[in-house]
Amino acid sequence: MIKLLIALLLFPSPSERTSSLEAADREFKNIHYARAIALYDSALTTSTDSTAVLWRLARVWICSGDTAARGRKYKLYKQAESYARRAIRSDSTSSEAHAWLAAAMGNIAMFEGGKTKVRLAHAIKREVDRAIVLDGKNDVAYSILGSFHKAIGDVSWIEKQLANIFLGGLPDGGYGESEAAFRKAIELAPDVVRNHFELAKMYVSQERNQEALVELRRTRALPMGVASDRYLQLVAAEMIKELEAE
């Protein structure tokens, strides 16, 4: 009886763990990332293999990295990658875990050299494809897929040939696939700033300026969802001025 009482005092109940996770989610939604991290970490101490907590930690570290000084970004994205991999080890069928691992690797790739970028490109594509197979309504996965295909579309023919010769080649992809993925992401999550902004950038790359303006104006009109949205909306405002002046 005494042992039971001690256990009840020391270990939180499932409802208390749920409450802690909900509190962390509220802090994340309110863009209080340091508080959210502290609460997620606290929730993790009661269930070290909790996939739901681990992929959320990957997400919040990515969001923290997106607005950090450039010198700190890489470390924060690597932290996110670590949590995403732990989430997958905890549950390999978690679509969110695979999607946020792809997101972490995509950000890390920006700091790497050519050979590592190519290796990461293949890994990102595998993870995002897996996320979509596991959950066809994962808007984050489709958004990452859109960015992935845009990055492939931005590579010149000569650069692709050089990659084929020296780096083992790039995955297939391009602007058509990018547009389709972003459109799907917007269908699933119409109020996410990033989806409209990145689709607009893809249109600019193709000189489809009127379509870009539509998406940029939507970018400006939407409420912020994550901290980096403020920067995207400021950039969108500048892009609108430039495109309207042409």
Cα–Cα distances in angstroms (integers) from residue 54 to residues 31, 37, 164, 189, in the given order: 18, 11, 36, 22
Using pLDDT thresholds of 50, 70 and 90, give the confidence band for residue 167.
Answer: very low
User: Which tens digit of pLDDT belongs to each residue from 180-214?
Assistant: 999 999 999 999 999 999 999 999 999 999 999 99
Q: At what angle do helices 139-154 and 175-188 cross, to 10 degrees?
A: 160
d(CA 128, CA 99): 5
Mean predicted lDDT score pLDDT of the chain: 88
- 229 belongs to a structural domain: yes
Report the distance separating Cα 123 and Cα 107, nearest Å.
13
Q: Give me 184's structure tokens.
A: 């799907």
Q: Name the token pair of 108.
A: 């890390």
Q: State the Cα angle at 180 between 178 and 183, rounded to 5°.
A: 105
In a domain, 61, yes or no: no
Count of CA atoms in the C-beta half-sphere (13 A) of 93? 0
Q: Is residue 65 part of a domain?
A: no
CA atoms within 13 A on the CB side of 7: 4
Phi then psi dihedrals of residue 174, to 5 deg: 170, -170
Domain assignment of residue 230, yes or no: yes
Distance of CA 109 to the CA centre of its chain: 13
Q: How far apart are the first and last CA of the chain?
A: 79
Distance CA 171, CA 126 (A): 10
Closest alpha carbon to 147 in 121, 171, 178: 178
- Nearest partner of 196 among 143, 125, 135, 124, judged by Cα: 143
pLDDT digits (tens, 9 = 90+) for 63-91: 999 999 999 999 999 999 999 999 999 99
Q: Which domain holds residue 229?
A: 190-246
- 9 neighbors 1 (Cβ within 8 angstroms): no
| pLDDT tens-place string over residues 99-144 | 999 999 999 999 988 778 888 999 999 999 999 999 999 999 999 9
Residue 1 within any structural domain of the chain: no
- Is residue 133 assigned to a domain? no
In a domain, 209, yes or no: yes
Q: What is the distance between the alpha carbons of residues 176 and 166, in angstroms, rounded to a whole number?
A: 26
Q: Count the domains in the chain.
A: 1
DSSP-based three-state secondary structure for 191? coil
Helix/strand/coil for 224? coil
Residue 202 in domain: yes
Tell me the two tokens of residue 239.
């892009």
- Mind giving me the DSSP string for 61-80? HHHHHHTS-HHHHHHHHHHH
Q: Percentage of the chain with pLDDT > 70?
A: 85
Q: The pTM is what?
A: 0.87
